[in-house]
Amino acid sequence: MQFPLNPKSKIQNPKLNRVLIGVGGGIAAYKICELVSTLFKTGVEVRVILTRSAQKFITPLTLATLSRHPAYTDDDFWQATHSRPLHIELGEWADVMVIAPLTANTLAKLAYGMADNLLTNTVLASTCPVLLAPAMNTDMWEQQSVQRNWQQLLIDSRYHGMGTASGLLACDRIGAGRLAEPPEIFAHVQSLLHTQGKRDLAGKRVLISAGGTREYLDPVRFIGNPSTGKMGLALAQAALHRGASVTLVHGPANWDVPLGVQAIPVVSADEMQQVMVECLPNADVIVMSAAVADVKPRDYSTEKLPKRSLPQALPLEPVPDIVAQLAQHKQPHQMLIGFAAQNGDIIKPALEKLQNKKLDAIVANPIDRPDSGFGSDNNQAIFLDSQGNQLEIAPCSKLEMAHQLFDFFKPHTRDFQS
């Protein structure tokens, strides 16, 4: 799972909720059914265009049923049944376009500005962001000509590329060329609807910690917390979709790392401290969203302790205060954002942490409210910065909150060093 598909999480900007999906000809076309269905459930208006080759793999009726609107084909393109040209109408209608699976054929047409069917004509007749999710055989994807077309297309700021995943392909080849999974495409679409395609973190390096740490007593017992790392994952996705280079340092997690994110898994607070300190000099923005343990067992047994040997009172010792250490070594051009998970009054302890640890900003995060905090797909918070600004974030998806965080703290406006 890349990012939870939560039908209760509506797109936050009602003015931007129209997504046009172009389906190319490939076996991965069947995955688009899940994407169309999920978008509709989250309040998005969906229209679908199928190329002729796409209809060999999936029918217009299927996608029309899932989108609750007729799916378009080249047969519709060439019929004089519309008051205005269909490709013009669709191009003006869309807030975001998605082409998935993107085939080598369609990629080449787009790279050279060609338009010989409904899909490619609509792309040229639109100005909205276009999300590209290619899928093809490994040898096809790695051809020099295909990679040249891919890089040439991505020079255009309209186009947002997801790259391909690796794994077992329909041709029985194991390698690159798999279509990104629907939840990951869905998350990127949500981001584009929020940002309208802006890459305001382009050229910035964002370092994020996520999830809980585990402090082991023996090989099978540990002190931990219920953090799943979903908030950190959402932050990584939001930063990546806004053009940043992202490093994600995470504790044990039950999700896949987004394509394009450098992930460094850790277990304990000591391991997280070591990695975060090593990565700090290369970061422009540091977001410490991990739920790091406060204490650890003083003694560790390399063998599982029998139940009768467990101490009645467990001797504990503190773990490193990672965010305080990062603040001590932070340079003036860097922005450090912390998280404070609290119940009851969440503002007072967050302000104390903000001031005592010399952070640039902090997220006061309630853990005692319904459908927010640890393990939830949604969240709510109060953002506070060192200049005294505050912003209350109403319940929303964690990805939406991640984008609001980058909107509010505006790391792209700071005077970063190159």
**Which positions are annotated as active-site residues?**
171
- Give first-to-last CA distance, the chain, whole Å: 35
Strands 316-318 and 295-297, bridge-based pairing: antiparallel
Which of 259, 270, 272, 167 is closest to 211 using CA atoms? 272
Do 204 and 274 form a contact (C-beta atoms < 8 A)? no
Going through 226-278 in order, the beta strands assigned E by DSSP cover 245-250, 262-265
Q: Which position has the token pair 């099978």?
A: 220
Q: Quick one: residue 410, left, alpha or beta (phi over 0 = left, psi -120 to 50 = alpha)?
A: left
Do 101 and 29 form a contact (C-beta atoms < 8 A)? yes
Please state, in angstroms and rounded to a whole number, the distance separating the CA atoms of residues 124 and 129.
12
Please state, in angstroms and rounded to a whole number, the distance separating the CA atoms of residues 11 and 46.
13
∠ at Cα 227 (225, 233), nearest 5°?
A: 155
- Give whole-number Cα distances, 230 to 142, 210, 223, 226, 306, in Å: 33, 8, 20, 11, 35
- Give whole-number Cα distances, 300 to 88, 216, 219, 291, in Å: 68, 7, 9, 22
Please state, in angstroms and rounded to a whole number, the distance separating the CA atoms of residues 60 and 46.
13
Please state, in angstroms and rounded to a whole number, the distance separating the CA atoms of residues 126 and 198.
16
Do 245 and 294 form a contact (C-beta atoms < 8 A)? no
Please state, in angstroms and rounded to a whole number, the distance separating the CA atoms of residues 216 and 303.
11
